[in-house]
Amino acid sequence: MTYLETTPNAHPDYRSGKRDRIASLAEDADFRALSAAWRNMAQQRQYMHNFSWMGRPLIQFPMDAMAIQEIIWSVRPDLIIETGIAHGGSLALCASMLELLGGDRMVLGVDIDIRAHNRTAIEQHPMAHRIRMIEGSSTSPDVVDAVHKFAADRKKVVVLLDSNHTHDHVLAELNAYASLVSPDSYCVVFDTFVEDMPDDFVWVDRPWGKGNNPKTAVREWMASHPEFAIDRTFEDHLLITSAPEGFLKRVS
């Protein structure tokens, strides 16, 4: 079952219209090509650095932020685990959604380098009571163990992977954290679009690129993990996303 079939509290006519419209967009080659060209140009101009959530810089396409809130509202998780903190905008987004849901829901952020000014700003943020942070490599055994211990009593878990975007690192993150995702919930792998960028695109001072990126890691990992399926309805209704093939839903 895809997200589109579980949209809560929507009139049947709205749900059916939405499904039909998105199914049409999935086959709209011209619109999809235009969206891909826009995304490529946006990446060149660092467009995704233009936004914030509750005062914290949010380095994401607005469409992906919309998708994350849709997932949170639908899944209603007890815990969101996010690798990659940067300025904390995504932590603030997740925490604010969890605040609306109530209870003792938390977001746990992991980053190899939490800069002092960012840590201070996050710890002073109005949503700080919903946020916990771990500094260290997301793939180191001690960090993986700490995250698993934090998640031990949580029944509904969402995982967001958005740190080092090399194939080996993302593959290690999937092996470390995807098992924590609860049935009917999601592991979202960001920046899979790296594989789809033009051949001549240069990733300045970055170790990832074509053939070595989150999408190649997802494809390798998915081949041996039938308990997950790619929910393509997200990229079909967003059209512009950094995570094509990256919305992984746990189906069993």
Domain ranges of the chain: 3-250
Beta bridge mates, 82 = 109, 160
Taking CA atoms, 201 is separated from 178, 197, 215, 240, in Å, by 30, 7, 16, 18
pTM comes to 0.95
pLDDT for residue 1 is more than 50: no
Give yes or no for a contact between 243 and 162, defined as CB atoms under 8 angstroms apart: no
Structure tokens at 121: 């700003």
| Residue 236 neighbours by CB under 8 Å, 6+ apart | 22, 23, 25, 26
Whether the pLDDT of residue 3 is over 60: the answer is: no
Alpha-helical (H) ranges within 27-60 are 29-44
Q: What is the mean pLDDT of residues 225-237?
A: 96
> Would you state the pLDDT for residue 204?
82
What is the band of 7 on the pLDDT scale with cuts at 50, 70, 90? low
Model confidence band, residue 209 (pLDDT cutoffs 50, 70, 90): very high
DSSP run (H or E) holding 147: helix 141-151
Q: Which fold has domain 3-250?
A: Rossmann fold (3.40.50)
Question: Is 138's pLDDT higher than 60?
Answer: yes
